Structure 1
Amino acid sequence: MSAHGNARVEMDLADDQIKVLEENFTRVSKHPDDATLMLIAAECGLSEEETAKWFKMRNAQWRKAEGLPPNLGSVKD
């Protein structure tokens, strides 16, 4: 198993795909725009839908780790 087991985020991805996704998540944006998402998807060999799904799940995982609600904007004022 990979040392990044928790980074798989319930998708069956290769280690090199996870590495690219994680690097973009950490260094580029936790919420990439459509153009950035398209580039990341192309770099990983994934569809834009799969890439968007990964970012959505990874954001929820990150927010939980940070002690935040899982969905952006879910805090009621």
Structure 2
Amino acid sequence: MLIFLGCYRRRLEERARTMSAETATGPTEDQVEILEYNFNKVDKHPDSTTLCLIAAEAGLSEEETQKWFKQRLAKWRRSEGLPSECRSVTD
């Protein structure tokens, strides 16, 4: 399993490098659709493996995908009337 993820990660990094110029202005509509689906149906807090798979599916780097999820989670929290950042219960 670890060998598979290592190979998959290398392919993802190569794909992200080739697509980075295209995504410099942000994700395309198709990429946003993939990200939104995963945010709403799969997990709002993806672990590193899931994040890697989502990034590969969307054709984005893991960093871009993680940043998108962080911003989308803050937007979702605000829409739910929660603070945009997680804080302790006493705040």
| Same fold (TM > 0.5) | yes
Instruction: Tell me the residue number matched to 2:37.
Output: 23
Unpaired segments ≥5 residues, structure 2 = 1-24
Deviations 1:23-68 (A, max 9, x none): 0000000000000000000000000000000000000000000000
The alignment status of 1:41 with 2:55, answered yes or no, reads yes
Unpaired segments ≥5 residues, structure 1 = 1-10
2: distance between equivalents of 1:23 and 1:58? 12
1: distance between equivalents of 2:89 and 2:32? 33
Give % identity: 56
Q: Looking at secondary structure, tell me which structure has more helix per residue.
A: 2
Whether the 8 Å CA contact 1:60–1:71 is kept in 2: the answer is: yes
Instruction: Tell me the residue number matched to 2:83.
Output: 69
Q: Answer with 1 or 2: which has the greater Rg.
A: 2
Query: Greater relative contact order: 1 or 2 (C-alpha under 8 angstroms, separation 6 or more)?
Result: 2
Q: CA RMSD in A?
A: 1.2
